[in-house]
Amino acid sequence: MPWWLPAAVKGVTTGIQYLTRPKRGVTTTPFAETTYGKHLKRREETGLYPPSIRGKMLRRYGETISSGTQRERAGISGGLVSRGMHGSISGLRALGAPERRRTGLISGYGKELDIESELGGLRAGEEYARLSTMTEERRRAEEEQIKFQESQAKWGLLGGLGEAGMGLYSGLMGKKLAQLGAEEGKEYGSYAPYVFAQQGGIRAPAYGFRGLMEESPEEKKIKQLQLMEEFLRERGLID
């Protein structure tokens, strides 16, 4: 298996998982766009009774009052005729009283409708504001949750790519160190594994491999003795 294959597979897998992750959007509809929200908004603007409905209610009420007014006028008129007062001023005033009463009743009923309609509009506005606030809070909570999930996904992507990169770097360095150890093994003799060790917690020289290879033969021998002495001291073979 090529040394770079595991890291490459890790990086590709991480990228595919990030790109194919389920993307979630805000599911809560703004209250202003709901059917009930539109209904409350219209009621807030027009009141409980829109002009067309208010007109119908007034006409029906007027018809009911008018039928009673006509019966009342007929009774008054019959009484005036029987008493011979049909054309008198008091008789005319008596005949006009039901009509005046009908007009007052219709006018009063219209005022009641206006007050009730206005109060209904105010209540609708309060309900609209309350439900709009609740909906917006729910939408903000969803947005925060989505942002958190996206952040987690991005950190997962970066972590996976970083792990893949470290795998590539470790594999490349391991390959180079192995090649370097094979080339310099004869010069360092049995201490070459110590110099070029990659595992087991064995510490490499502080001055690095490059500096060691560029030194003169005398310096190399001195440092080789130092390495040997340090190697033996770490294992308790010498004091």
> 236: alpha, beta or left, given left = phi > 0 and alpha = psi -120 to 50?
left
Predicted confidence (pLDDT) per residue in 98-153, tens digit: 778 878 888 888 999 999 999 999 999 999 999 999 999 999 999 999 888 888 88
Would the CA dihedral through 193, 196, 197, 201 be positive or negative? positive
Whether the CB-CB separation of 11 and 182 falls below 8 Å is answered with no
> Cα separation of 47 and 118, whole Å?
5
Q: Which two tokens stand for residue 81?
A: 């005729």
Around Cβ 192, how many Cβ atoms within 10 Å? 17
Assessment of whether the complete model's pTM goes beyond 0.85? no
Opening angle at CA 35, ends 29 and 37, nearest 5: 75
Q: Which helix (H) or strand (E) holds 159?
A: helix 89-188
Q: How confident is the model at residue 15 (pLDDT cuts 50, 70, 90)?
A: confident
